[in-house]
Amino acid sequence: MIDLELPDYLQELRTNIHSLSKSMFRPISRKYDIAEHEYPKELDVFRKMNVMGSLKKSKKKGKTGSEGSFKVNLTTVLATEELAWGDVALMMSIPNAAPGNASINAIANEKQMEEFGDKWAAFSITEPNSGSDPGSIITTAVRDGCEWVLNGEKIFVTCAERSDIVVVWATIDKNLGKEGIKPFIVPKGTPGLELTKLESKMGLRASDTGGFVLNNCRIPIDSILGSAEKEVSAEGFKGVMKTFDNTRPIVGAMATGVARAALDFVKEEFEKNGINLDYNANLNNISSIEREYYLMDAHIEALRLLSWRAAWMADSGEFNNVEASMAKAKGGRCGTLITQKCCELLGYLGYSQKYLVEKWMRDSKILDIFEGTGQIQHLIIARDVLGLSGRDLK
């Protein structure tokens, strides 16, 4: 298991990313919250840096140092928290760092990784009648000679407009249930793939979210993400779950960053008003406001460690399904409650658009919804605790 203290090289990374987030994200945070569908051109520097490509190469080569193997998932979680501290919506708008890229990194074969690993990939799974249960997908993929023909509708697709390719989840046979669900790589511009709308949202406004219609969209037969040989198997749906096992700790880190941003602002305002926090003080002799602060700080630390553990397990090749759900469940719940409480403690400062606290409260709500709602995460955890299957506990 990971140590509770970060090694120097990861602490240095964390410090550097925090500085980047503070200098780059914070100054433009409000600008792109207002200009919802305008692409943040300031983020083009990340495409030039090819951050995701560097991580991919490090992972492929098994880059090592004096501290041991390069930990891609743990590094991503650490960077995510600091970037989300600056602005979680801008973090989700970084080129080549969309949820679809997580799918490619999790299950793409070597040829697909070479071809699409550096592309900006949207993640297209949610449908009008299929949200938290990906097993109920009705978008179809029918084989026609050397092609797949896709038909269906997808909604709430992250990076829908800005991405280069779309990872579309569809069923090749409805009678197979979850075993018939497969991910397909669909390049933008493919005939039959149409971006139909962009959503106007309460939070994460700098991140573009839209919907697609697939109308007789034809793609090559080898466009199935992962192993094409296992065309009819449980591997497709397992690919969905494997993607979530990688991304749910990241959502936990997003929640940690946003909640920490709000709590940091509360601390600054406390100190301006003569409230000096003392962790050595007797808890029986502190004010209710101080008590609220300490409780929120404890939740943030617990959330951080849950995300670290789930990411470390993924890097170590350990099955982390339950741990990933724990990080996501606590992240979504605590992130929402902490940012809301911070707004309450700050009074008018937490409600005014002069400050970012109200934005952080709006941004945090979606973290309890996407990548599987809190209720779904509690089900996954409960099934493991009780030793029950999905059929036994719904």
pLDDT, one tens digit per residue, over 199-218 is: 999 999 999 999 999 999 99
Mean pLDDT of 27-40: 95
Domains of the chain with CATH codes: 8-107 (1.10.540), 121-233 (2.40.110.10), 236-386 (1.20.140.10)
Identify the pLDDT of residue 61.
47
* Residue 82 pLDDT level (bands cut at 50, 70, 90): very high
What CA–CA distances, in Å, run from 37 to 32, 44, 206? 8, 16, 7
Across 18-27, 103-112, 227-236, the highest mean pLDDT is recorded for 18-27
CB 139 within 8 A of CB 214: yes
**Which residues, including other chains, have CB under 8 Å from residue 215's CB and lie 6 or more apart?**
151, 192, 194
Q: pTM, whole model, 2 decimals? A: 0.87
Mean pLDDT computed over 37-54: 75
Determine the pLDDT at residue 148. Answer: 96
Give the tens place of pLDDT for each residue, 117-146: 888 999 898 999 876 666 688 999 999 999
Instruction: Give the whole-angstrom CA distance, residue 296 versus residue 334.
Output: 8
Residue 3: pLDDT band (50, 70, 90) is: low
Model confidence band, residue 108 (pLDDT cutoffs 50, 70, 90): confident
Residues 6+ apart with CB under 8 A from 231: 172, 182, 224
More confident site: 141 or 279: 141
User: How confident is the model at residue 104, as a pLDDT?
Assistant: 85
pLDDT-derived band at 48, boundaries 50, 70, 90: low
The arithmetic mean of pLDDT across residues 86-113, rounded, is 87
Q: Is the separation of the CB atoms in 158 and 209 below 8 Å?
A: yes
Highest mean pLDDT among 243-257, 338-352, 362-376 belongs to: 338-352
pLDDT at 227: 66
